[in-house]
């Protein structure tokens, strides 16, 4: 029996603590007039000799008797640099003469001096300057100067303040820093707080026609991936050459697909076929490199997943089904047929399987539980895991088991020598059903990527102090701006992330 102690990344032993950004508030509301509407401040330009050039278009009050208000206390306009009472502030130009945000990529807008409400003389300078989130309610001065752009991941606050400021960086995506950017082609860098890793969209390619339902993992030295669509077509995409072979017609409707490193040129599928007699059939198929097919009628309902183990000097394949059973298979002596060697009922409908060792299989159920199948003793253990939804995906990484459910909860459990999965190390929430996982290693960090059914990818980092940092970015939308499910995630090179979408596209992000 393989031991699972020590080694691997340290995901920590504490509870999830969301970062505290703090922030300012609006101290008091506007003054109200006799009619119950907000009372406007008096326009100081209307009271001046030159008068107000905006006339009825002015947003401030023009009193009928100006003499009553000519004591200097009724001013309301902020004065922009470049002259009083302009219709709008001037646009900042980049070195090529284009306005900021219109082609001047990488150019940081210069901070400007923001005027303050009256009655706050002799304030100490705010080190956040023009980027201060509290704006006019801040008790510090916002004259130019100070640390306008703090380093990524730093949490800075005023001495003596009850909560730190929320700081936005003009050279990164503010929505991503706030927790989620739904744009699939955001022009600003996505930099995870408390991490030096930036994810930048590099390219996208159409690889399949029709709605993608599932895919295998990378095979042939991580160069190829098999993709199947709901119209029973299969495509083989080469991620190195960026070419697609196919499609080829499958023998039925695909319900599950797996590929394994031990079989570089074989594909394992669960297919649903319709028979003229007896209704639908649910078959386990193995497609071999010589185009031959091993096929067996396996279950009485849809096959939801396939797994493999080399156990007792045998190649054993497992299939699980919505009929509530799991079966074990071997290839017959003639190498042309499949033989069932074991079958066991489960305390729920299985959706996903993950082998954590050669003799222990974890099955995720639709009732939120795990079932652990010990192949040595042929015993089953039921473990209550996800209380809020169905177990949609499982992934083993080193000594840890990651699981995601239909309510958006992610659990990380350490695998012990006795395969004790009772207590999760972490439980992390994001609002969409989890569809796939990948764990990437870059710049000495381990980052968990979780794809979901709403076209988003959540990036998660857990540091040595058990602090969890996460944020999400948009990955897939169709032509009508509808978000599409993330089917699979891959890390091929050290500095790249690939994702396959339900819309038939593969997108590549570069890690910087």
Q: Edge-to-edge, what's the strand order for the sheet holding 198-206?
A: 190-191, 198-206, 505-511, 496-501, 486-490
pLDDT higher than threshold 90 for residue 476 = yes
Of 18, 167, 15, the closest CA to residue 471 belongs to 18
Of 78-87, 278-287, 452-461, the range with the lowest mean pLDDT is 78-87
Q: Edge-to-edge, what's the strand order for the sheet holding 426-429?
A: 391-397, 400-405, 409-414, 426-429
Kindly state the average pLDDT of the residues 260-269. 90
Taken in order 278, 298, 263, 267, is the CA torsion positive or negative? positive
pLDDT higher for 60 or 457?
A: 457
Kindly state the average pLDDT of the residues 261-266. 87
Of 142-156, 184-198, 392-406, the range with the lowest mean pLDDT is 142-156
- Cα–Cα distances (Å) from 22 to 127, 162, 163, 458, 465, in that order, read 16, 8, 5, 23, 21
Query: pTM score, two decimals?
Result: 0.67
DSSP lists the bridge partners of residue 369 as: 384
pLDDT higher than threshold 50 for residue 444 = yes
For residue 176, the surrounding DSSP H or E stretch is helix 174-178
Kindly state the average pLDDT of the residues 36-42. 64
The band of 91, judged by pLDDT with boundaries at 50, 70 and 90, is very low
Kindly state the average pLDDT of the residues 454-463. 95
Residues 6+ apart with CB under 8 A from 75: 41, 42, 44
pLDDT at 171 (0 to 100): 73
In whole angstroms, what is the distance from residue 281 CA to residue 278 CA? 8
In whole angstroms, what is the distance from residue 323 CA to residue 348 CA? 9
pLDDT at 141 (0 to 100): 60
- Contact criterion met (CB below 8 Å) for 428 and 388: no
pLDDT at 34 (0 to 100): 53
pLDDT at 471 (0 to 100): 95
Residues 6+ apart with CB under 8 A from 69: 42, 47, 63
What residue segments make up the domains of the chain, in order of their start?
112-147, 170-239+430-512
Kindly state the average pLDDT of the residues 168-195. 85
pLDDT at 195 (0 to 100): 83
Q: State pLDDT tens for residues 208-249.
A: 999 999 999 998 888 899 999 999 999 999 988 999 998 999
Kindly state the average pLDDT of the residues 117-128. 44
Of 363, 506, 361, 489, the closest CA to residue 437 belongs to 489
pLDDT higher for 279 or 352?
A: 352
Of 512, 421, 412, the closest CA to residue 462 belongs to 412
Q: How many CA atoms lie within 13 A of 491 on its CB side?
A: 15
pLDDT higher than threshold 70 for residue 116 = no
Kindly state the average pLDDT of the residues 469-480. 92
Q: State pLDDT tens for residues 266-312.
A: 999 999 998 877 789 999 999 988 888 999 999 999 999 999 999 99
In whole angstroms, what is the distance from residue 238 CA to residue 260 CA? 17
In whole angstroms, what is the distance from residue 357 CA to residue 366 CA? 23
pLDDT at 137 (0 to 100): 62
pLDDT higher than threshold 70 for residue 55 = yes
Q: Is 432 helix (H, G, I), strand (E, B) or coil?
A: coil
Q: State pLDDT tens for residues 390-417.
A: 999 999 998 899 999 999 999 999 887 5
pLDDT higher than threshold 50 for residue 192 = yes
pLDDT at 66 (0 to 100): 66
pLDDT at 386 (0 to 100): 93
pLDDT higher than threshold 50 for residue 479 = yes
pLDDT at 83 (0 to 100): 33
Show the CA angle centred on residue 169, arms to residues 163 and 173, nearest 5°. Answer: 115
Of 109-123, 377-391, 465-479, the range with the lowest mean pLDDT is 109-123
pLDDT at 19 (0 to 100): 29
Q: Edge-to-edge, what's the strand order for the sheet holding 456-462?
A: 180-181, 468-474, 456-462, 445-452, 434-442
pLDDT at 420 (0 to 100): 62
pLDDT higher than threshold 80 for residue 433 = yes
Give me 416's structure tokens. 């012990």
The band of 252, judged by pLDDT with boundaries at 50, 70 and 90, is very high
DSSP 213: E
pLDDT higher than threshold 50 for residue 18 = no
The band of 313, judged by pLDDT with boundaries at 50, 70 and 90, is very high
| Percent of the chain's residues with pLDDT above 70 | 70
pLDDT at 311 (0 to 100): 94
pLDDT higher for 63 or 166?
A: 63
Helices within 354-471 (DSSP H only):
none
Q: Is 25 helix (H, G, I), strand (E, B) or coil?
A: coil
Average pLDDT, the chain: 76
Show the CA angle centred on residue 419, arms to residues 418 and 420, nearest 5°. Answer: 90
Give me 304's structure tokens. 């939801």
């Amino acid at each position: 029996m393989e031991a699972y102690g020590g080694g691997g990344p340290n995901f920590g032993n504490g509870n999830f603590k969301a970062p505290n950004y703090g922030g300012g508030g609006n101290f008091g509301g506007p003054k109200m007039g006799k009619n119950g509407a907000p009372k406007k401040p008096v326009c100081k330009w209307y009271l001046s000799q030159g008068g107000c050039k905006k006339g009825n278009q002015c947003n401030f009050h023009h009193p009928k008797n100006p003499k009553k208000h000519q004591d200097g206390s009724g001013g309301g306009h902020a004065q922009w640099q470049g002259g009083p009472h302009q219709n709008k502030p001037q646009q900042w130009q980049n070195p090529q003469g284009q306005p900021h945000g219109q082609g001047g990529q990488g150019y940081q807008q210069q901070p400007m001096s923001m005027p303050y409400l009256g009655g706050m003389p002799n304030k100490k300078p705010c080190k956040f300057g023009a980027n201060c989130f509290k704006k006019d309610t801040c008790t510090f001065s916002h004259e130019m100067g100070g640390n306008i752009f703090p380093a990524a991941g730093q949490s800075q606050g005023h001495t003596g303040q009850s909560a730190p400021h929320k700081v936005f960086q003009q050279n990164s995506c503010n929505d991503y820093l706030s927790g989620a950017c739904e744009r699939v082609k955001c022009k600003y860098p996505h930099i995870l707080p408390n991490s030096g890793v930036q994810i930048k969209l590099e390219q996208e390619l159409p690889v399949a026609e029709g709605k993608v339902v599932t895919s295998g993992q990378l095979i042939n030295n991580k160069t190829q991936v098999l993709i199947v669509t709901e119209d029973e077509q299969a495509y083989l995409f080469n991620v190195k050459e960026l070419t697609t072979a196919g499609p080829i017609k499958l023998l039925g409707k695909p319900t599950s697909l797996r590929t394994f490193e031990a079989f570089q040129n074989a594909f394992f599928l669960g297919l649903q076929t319709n028979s003229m007699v007896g209704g639908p059939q649910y078959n386990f198929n193995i497609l071999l490199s010589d185009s031959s097919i091993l096929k067996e009628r396996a279950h009485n309902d849809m096959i939801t997943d396939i797994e493999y183990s080399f156990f007792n000097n045998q190649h054993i394949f497992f299939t699980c089904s919505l009929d509530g059973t799991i079966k074990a298979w071997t290839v017959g002596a003639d190498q042309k047929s499949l033989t069932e060697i074991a079958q066991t009922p489960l305390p729920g409908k299985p959706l996903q399987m993950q082998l954590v060792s050669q003799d222990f299989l974890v099955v995720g159920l639709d009732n939120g539980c795990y079932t652990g199948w010990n192949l040595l003793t042929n015993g089953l253990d039921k473990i209550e895991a996800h209380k809020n939804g169905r177990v949609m995906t499982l992934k083993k990484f080193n000594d840890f088991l990651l699981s995601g459910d239909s309510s958006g909860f992610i659990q990380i459990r350490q695998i012990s020598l006795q395969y004790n999965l009772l207590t999760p190390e972490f439980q992390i929430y994001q609002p969409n059903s989890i569809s796939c996982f990948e764990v990437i290693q870059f710049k000495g960090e381990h980052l968990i990527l979780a794809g979901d059914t709403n076209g988003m990818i959540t990036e998660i980092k857990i540091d040595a102090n058990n602090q969890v940092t996460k944020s999400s970015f948009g990955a897939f939308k169709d032509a009508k701006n509808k978000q599409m499910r993330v089917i699979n995630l891959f890390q091929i090179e050290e500095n790249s992330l690939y994702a396959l979408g339900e819309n038939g596209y593969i997108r590549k992000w570069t890690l910087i």
